[in-house]
A and B are shown apart, each in its own frame.
Chain A
């Protein structure tokens, strides 16, 4: 059998789900960021696939933008992470709950 659109979509959905689970389960900030990356990239896959399926470039354009944004997000995120680690030398989420209620 040859790989159709749906396979891609299913794959990306599965990846997205994995990402979500990661986001929920991970207590380590770094892991959390990885999870979000998975989320975004899973979407990229399907964008590429769909744009190929429709034969117009919009989807791929979108994918490129997503990649760019993901990159910049990582930049900001890591920056925050580093500062946090400097101050508390831990990147555990559960330590991070001074504000509540």
Chain B
């Protein structure tokens, strides 16, 4: 069974979803929770079975699908992807568990299960086309969730979300086809297998073009400035669960893909585009943080804040060294946890007041102390307080990029200031002061069902903030191999210089370790 654990992880939820049509409407929630829990347990099992010392792919499966055109069903997992999978399983679980009473809940839960299939699929796929299949497929359930359960502008938002991402990924598809063609020219046979592509060394100009092609697909998904405008609409209109999954997992597809495709395939191009992308990332960080500060709708604040954080992730990714990339991957998980939690929290108040406008609140700390406390913890995590999960990620990402450029890092570091500004402002508006609105006077504090979702998140936030090693270790192992691969593949002097060669560094590491003790 362990040999096929990944396929099980992918297709179990979908299968369960199909069977779910049979389940009675009243007990569908328990069914969904059960399925999601099993999936989560399987994911945990994957973690325990995972060998931390191996840097390469594990639990690989290969099934011939279209051998004549080099398309095969290849899946595998390494330190980079594993935790995001676990996160996806986890969020689907608590998402379903914390689901309030929504209209036709049955469709919702089945859709969520299908969505889970696509999410897991994206992160384990090792064949470009398979990756693309899941990548595109993930749009459909999200489209439905936003469009069917969303707010007044839901149709506009969902269609925009779909088409924008769709357009971007079609360009990416062209890029993939080119990549396969180059492989065909080099080796005389078609292949879309990622591990085959890794062995391919392309001339720089090709790398640049292909990098751009892939960039469109990924950047829109992330979403990077200036392709980010679909996100606020999607978040603003989506139901709570939709925003949670979107922020926690779907956005990570983009950044994950950068690490999985762009960096190892086009090391020279990555170096070439490092500064432009870093600048974009910095614009994301500061500009969106300012936009977030201007918002009146707390959900929009969180939405823009997640764009801002994605900027830091991008920056860490393009640090092109172990510290930065590990940091960005860790930050993906961290941001998943924190922003997911924040969206859940916004959902909590939305369920009670049916508004997200901050001027409707104020003094909530008096009436909902528990809620205020959890919100406070999550806010501080999102601001990047040490000993919370976010800090580790941000610290490492910035630290990593500092090696590439001092001044840009200094600018990016402004994140910790502007982030604090909009978050504290929002918190002040919502929780501090006296209760002015009559309807806020006796709001019920968070109930059990919501705590089920929130408490685990708080625990993770603190635990991984204090002791990130169990996650950081495997990530580090895999990232080191990626960086080494990039260094060996790179052809330009610049790239050789920028991307550290770990085989040499080992000695230095030793000395620094000695220095440490």
| A–B in direct contact per CB < 8 Å | no
